[in-house]
Structure 1
Amino acid sequence: MTIKNFERIFDKSMTSAKAHECITYIESSNGNFSWNKGYGGKDLDTPIIMASVSKLFTTTCILALQDQAKLSLEDKITKYFDSDTLKGLHIYKGKDYSFKLTISDLLFQTSGLPDVFGEGKNNLNKRTVHEDISVSFDEYIAIAKQLKPHFGPNTKNRAYYSDLNFEMLGKIIEKVTNETLKDSYQKYIFEPLGLKNTYLPTSEKEFIPHSFYKDKKIFRNNLILSIPACGGGVSTAREMMVFLKGFFGGKLFDKTILEQNQLYKPLQITMGGIHYGCGHMQIKLNGIVTGFKDKGSIIGHVGMSGTFAFYYPEKDLYLVGDVAQYADPGMCVRLAMRLALGAN
């Protein structure tokens, strides 16, 4: 492992026409190795939109609540939602699974529920390119009911990435704690780890960073406020590193649950070979890019705005960063993979 490798990979990635701002931070568990580099004015303490990296925070709350026996992953979601909300949500091949879904189905992305952001002619992803939309939880549910589920819950070797799964988990957290999701983030994550610059914005008065769509600087404040549990967090590279070490290091919940749930299922083909496990992604480092050699996997999450947070167990390295680019969601994945391989 050499810093020169990381420098070379980073500098080459920044030659892309879509690269306007970037921060990358790599560190070992004990901190003996640490490297970071910024581009376009971004540094370790620049606020960044976490987007779907926020799912790791929601996962943390769910697993912490399970540790306290306040919920079980095997709980049916009928315990937390009324029948009007669930009725007609998941009907697959004429069979209604709406009242059979469990917390585990949501957390592992094995519910089969459709992706309200990526599906449909006028899907939310297409709309957010042109406008800063605001969508309520009830509207997410209504949109999902108009779309078709992809398989029955917990079908063998099937997973389907859907932000709705995590927005539902957010509502479950609020129901169990009788507090806001923001309060739970504070209680189960921010306070234990001493995070001062990581937050879940809940009003327009709170600062939400910009991102880019190709060459255009964009602000999606309404959208971020609409998706707290699946993508609404704001942090910095420095504090995402602290969180990521806490997540995989057992500081926030009993990490044996992650060790006991090493079965990752492949997501839909549009997710580019990414697998999903207990509230987090797995990206295998093999195939053409490695000369068909198995270099292990990185585990963690990416966000559509270009954020990434991964642990590379084979080298005991944590990698976090942000490329701030909505137009190419795979840009941050490629950078994270290349950096991980650069450690070999």
Structure 2
Amino acid sequence: MATREQRIHRLIEKTAADRRTGEVLWRVVGPAKNGEPGLDVVHGDLDRPFFVASVSKLFTVVCLAQLRVEGRLDWDSPIDEYLPSLDLTGLAVDDGRDVSGEITVREVMSHTAGLADYFEGPRPDGPTTLERAIAADFSWTAEEVVEWTRVMRPGRRGRGLYSDTGFQLLDAVVEHLDARPFAESVRVRITEPLGLAGTFVYTHADHGRFGHMAVIRNGADDLHLPLLLASVDGQGGVVSTLRDAVTFLQAFFDGRLFEKALLDEMLTDWHRIFSPLEYGTGVMRFRLPAVLTGFRSFSFEGHSGASGVVLYRDARSGVIVAGTVNQLQQRQLPYQLMIRTAAIAAS
């Protein structure tokens, strides 16, 4: 009879052979149980760098949590108090009233501020920002993000609407309070303390390293988007490895990066953003009805990204899944592989 490790490897290899995927990097880590050692199954190079896409948002959240613990940031204060150089007028509108000066840091972290999504949301002047960059790579600033978002249709305050605009603002808060580039805050606050040698925020200074990253595909096409990726910071510009990603997520949930009591607060007040994805305060949750998961009950907490990246811990079994299929299309593929490999690891 095949071992759990062998069964997991077979599933990953089947996905990797699928022509719809890019370079598949995958790791499944399970806790020790019943006297048996923990599980650790790896497909690909543990130290192969890849863009973690919106998993980057967890790095922003860690910075915001540390700033709160330090007493320098109040999550329930209006975000514009921490953004003196940005004019947020007109970004958030509630029943015809401009509430841009009232939306809080917590609301922006939770995607309930009613901010439109400048990145993949519909723009009145044509294609989305992502579609434009795929057609011809370009870079932008936080000021331009605010300008583009201002003319887009806002959501309703208090309801979930996933917004990359919000995390551009949150990164700017970190930069303002730390008085240094966001990439430097991540280095000082996260990667150096945890010894994450393969993790960094991609910037314009890193273009010479772009060719060393795993390639992201869009259907059958390889994407070359260094200017885009140098513009998104904690929205989606972090590079990591399978080795580092698991270490980071373990530290995130174990209380090694900020007070663990704060995590309990973050993992509440869940609201739907994209079915079946939900959002708490800076953390994403993926759940499916048991009938769709072989009658196993999972509650994956962490984050995922549009290029086929997942970094989740199942709150019930403790299984961690980290990986990428490096494919912008077929966004269901990484979730399918996550559920199937986690189910074997938890068995």
TM-score normalized by the length of structure 1: 0.91
Deviation at 1:340, TM superposition (A): 2.1
Q: 1 CA distance for matches of 2:31 and 2:78?
A: 37
Contact kept in structure 1, 2:293 and 2:339, CA below 8 Å? no
Q: Which amino acid aligns with 2:285?
A: Q
Q: Is contact 1:285–1:298 with CA below 8 Å preserved after alignment?
A: no
In the alignment, is the contact (CA less than 8 A) between 2:266 and 2:283 conserved in 1?
A: no
- Counterparts in 2 of 1:78 and 1:218: CA distance versus 1, 3 Å: closer
Checking the alignment, whether the CA contact within 8 Å between 1:51 and 1:232 is kept in structure 2 is: yes
Query: Where does residue 162 of structure 2 map in the other structure?
Result: 161
Q: Secondary structure at the match of 2:10?
A: helix
Residue 305 in 1 paired to residue 310 in 2? no
2:260 to 255, 260, 267: 255
- Tell me the CA shift for residue 132 of structure 1: 1.7
Q: How does 1:1-344 map to 2 (within 5 A)?
A: 2-28=4-30, 32-38=37-43, 42-82=44-84, 85-120=87-122, 121-152=126-157, 155=158, 158-202=159-203, 203-208=205-210, 209=213, 210-268=215-273, 271-291=274-294, 293=295, 295-342=297-344, 343-344=346-347
Q: How many Å separate the matches in 2 of 1:84 and 1:220?
A: 26
Q: Which amino acid aligns with 2:263?
A: L
Runs of 5+ consecutive residues of structure 1 not aligned to the other structure: none
**1:127–1:32 Cα change, 3 Å:** farther
Do the aligned partners of 2:200 and 2:240 also contact (CA within 8 Å) in 1? yes
Instruction: Note if contact 1:24-1:237 (Cα within 8 Å) is conserved in structure 2.
Output: yes
Which has the higher mean CA deviation after the structures are superposed, 65-74 or 8-17?
8-17
SS at match of 2:202: coil
- Shift in Å at residue 45 of structure 1? 0.8
In the TM superposition, what whole-angstrom CA distance separates every residue of 1:284-321 from its partner, at most 9, and x where no partner exists?
14254225x46031011111122211011211111101
Q: Distance in 2 between matches of 1:119 and 1:205?
A: 27
Q: CA deviation at 1:36?
A: 2.8
Q: Is the 8 A contact 2:83 2:176 kept in 1?
A: no
Identity across aligned pairs (percent)? 27
Partners of 1:112 and 1:151 within 8 A in 2: yes
Q: Which runs of 5+ in 2 are unaligned?
A: none
Task: Give 1:266 shift.
Answer: 3.2
Q: Deviations over 1:1-50 (max 9, x none)?
A: 92233223223323422123111111235794233333xxx411111011
The structure-2 alpha-carbon separation of the partners of 1:83 and 1:190, relative to structure 1 and needing over 3 Å to count, comes to: closer
Amino acid at match of 1:289: L
Q: Secondary structure at the match of 2:40?
A: strand
CA–CA separation in structure 2 for the residues paired with 1:71 and 1:145: 25
- TM-score under structure 2 length normalisation: 0.90
Structure 2 CA distance for partners of 1:287 and 1:125, relative to 1, 3 Å: farther
Counterpart contact for 1:266–1:273, Cα < 8 Å: no
Question: What amino acid is the match of 1:187?
Answer: V
Cα RMSD for the two superposed structures: 2.0
Which amino acid counterpart does residue 300 of structure 2 have in structure 1?
I
Is residue 110–residue 160 contact of structure 1 (8 Å, CA) maintained in 2? yes
Q: What is the Cα deviation at residue 125 of structure 1?
A: 2.5
Offset, 1:206: 4.5
- 1:248-302 per-residue CA deviation (whole Å, 9 max, x = no partner) reads 111000121121343243334xx232000121110114254225x4603101111
Contact 2:134 2:225 in 1 (8 A): no
1: distance between equivalents of 2:343 and 2:293? 8
In the alignment, the residues of structure 1 paired with residue 269 and residue 136 of structure 2 have an alpha-carbon distance, to the nearest angstrom, of 35
The one-letter code matched in structure 2 to 1:64 is Q
> What is the CA-CA distance between 1:122 and the residue it aligns to?
1.2
Give the distance between the partners of 1:289 and 1:179, measured in 2 at CA: 46
SS in 2 for 1:86: coil
Kept after mapping to 1: 8 A contact 2:93/2:156: no
